[in-house]
């Protein structure tokens, strides 16, 4: 008789109705673990099934802090994995007591890009493992040569720095054959108003609000470039979706982006530098039909990074981590 499969609980601040990065990560990890473990997703722990759980994976040090503290009170730090977001790494653990406590309680830490361990207190770095998130490869669409289409994907909130995109759109000339699509819900009312004002002032910019995930992926496939202007990121899923769709990226030079795309990537602009972003957009447009130009070089660099984001690589590392905790439980 085969031994019973261990039970893994994933704590996610967001469930399917949010359709955000936390949910996508939690759901993908559940699917990757399902072959070897019983696995479920909850928003808070404990619940009525808590007594059967053997391992907790908690997403977000601050938003899941109560669940992390409850697990620690019941089981100590063993078998407690914390996956850190960008706001955890680059804001909350610096200033907020609850995420600091979450960091200390966890026995293992998952970070999502190469530079993330440097954002941790030195005493915690030995607990950290880099596990790149993954996405499926999508076919590269044939893209028109008559214009350049850029897409930015991210809900309108300060961490995503949509103001940089608004300002860059205003710096483009009316006759520049560059068009910008902006996908994301207006979570911040002031930023939503700014998006509407930018659309009114700039005919080459349009805000499309929130869209279903598959529709968004198709928009990324059709675009010549993805713009990612964030102030802080733990490892943005949309970057992988672009890279694995044959769509190069123009990204702010922050650790969360550099840790995904590599230090030598040619498509960075300084965070908040709208003029730098506009300049890169124009350079991409100018080199659009040049096989040795910037756009082609960015495409080549993204192709070299794409294997890092393969589902089988993420699944192998995640299952190995959880299995090591389960083995320790049985010893």
The domains found in the chain, sorted by start residue, are 7-134+310-330 (3.40.50.2000), 148-308 (3.40.50.2000)
Band of residue 10 on the pLDDT scale cut at 50, 70, 90: very high
Beta-strand pair 205-209/225-228: unpaired
Q: What is the pLDDT of residues 101-140, one digit of tens each?
A: 999 999 999 999 999 999 999 999 999 999 999 999 998 8
**Cβ-Cβ contacts under 8 Å for 306 (sequence gap 6 or more):** 137, 243, 244
**Cβ-Cβ contacts under 8 Å for 41 (sequence gap 6 or more):** 9, 10, 11, 12, 15, 26, 27, 30
What's the CA gap between 41 and 27, in Å, rounded? Answer: 8
**pTM for the whole structure:** 0.87
**Cβ-Cβ contacts under 8 Å for 114 (sequence gap 6 or more):** 130, 259, 260
Token digits of residue 241: 């979706």
| 273, pLDDT greater than 60 | yes
Place of tokens 């968004």: 216
* Interval 3-7 mean pLDDT: 86
Q: What is the pLDDT of residues 290-305, one digit of tens each?
A: 999 999 999 999 999 9
Strands across the sheet with 249-252, in order? 205-209, 178-183, 148-153, 225-228, 249-252, 268-269
Reading phi first (left if > 0) and then psi (alpha if -120 to 50, else beta), residue 87 is in alpha
Report the mean per-residue pLDDT for the chain: 93
């Amino acid at each position: 008789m085969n031994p019973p499969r261990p039970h893994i609980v994933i704590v996610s601040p967001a469930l399917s109705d949010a359709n955000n990065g936390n949910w996508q990560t939690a759901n993908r990890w559940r699917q990757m673990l399902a072959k070897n473990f019983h696995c479920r997703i909850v928003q808070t722990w404990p619940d009525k099934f808590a007594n059967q759980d053997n391992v907790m994976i908690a997403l977000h040090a601050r938003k899941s802090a109560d669940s992390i503290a409850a697990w620690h009170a019941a089981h100590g730090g063993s078998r407690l994995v914390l996956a850190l977001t960008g706001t955890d790494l680059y804001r909350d653990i610096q200033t907020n007591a609850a995420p600091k406590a979450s960091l200390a309680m966890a026995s293992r830490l998952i970070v999502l890009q190469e530079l993330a361990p440097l954002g941790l207190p030195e005493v915690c770095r030995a607990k950290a493992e880099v596990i790149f998130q993954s996405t499926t490869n999508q076919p590269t669409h044939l893209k028109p040569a008559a214009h350049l289409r850029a897409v930015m994907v991210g809900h309108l909130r300060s961490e995503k720095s949509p103001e940089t995109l608004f300002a860059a759109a205003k710096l483009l000339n009316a006759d520049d054959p560059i068009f910008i699509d902006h996908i994301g819900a207006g979570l911040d009312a002031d930023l939503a108003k700014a998006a509407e004002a930018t659309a009114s002032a700039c005919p080459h910019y349009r805000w499309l609000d929130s869209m279903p995930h598959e529709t968004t992926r198709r928009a990324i496939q059709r675009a010549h470039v993805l713009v990612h202007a964030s102030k802080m990121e733990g490892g943005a899923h949309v970057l992988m979706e672009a890279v694995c769709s044959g769509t190069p990226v123009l990204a702010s030079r922050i650790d969360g982006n550099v840790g995904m795309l590599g230090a030598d990537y040619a498509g960075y602009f300084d965070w908040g530098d709208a003029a730098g972003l506009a300049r890169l957009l124009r350079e991409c447009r100018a080199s659009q039909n040049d096989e040795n130009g910037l756009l082609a070089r960015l495409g080549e660099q993204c192709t070299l990074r794409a294997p890092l984001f393969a589902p089988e690589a993420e699944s192998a590392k995640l299952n190995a981590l959880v299995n090591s905790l389960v083995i320790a439980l049985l010893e």
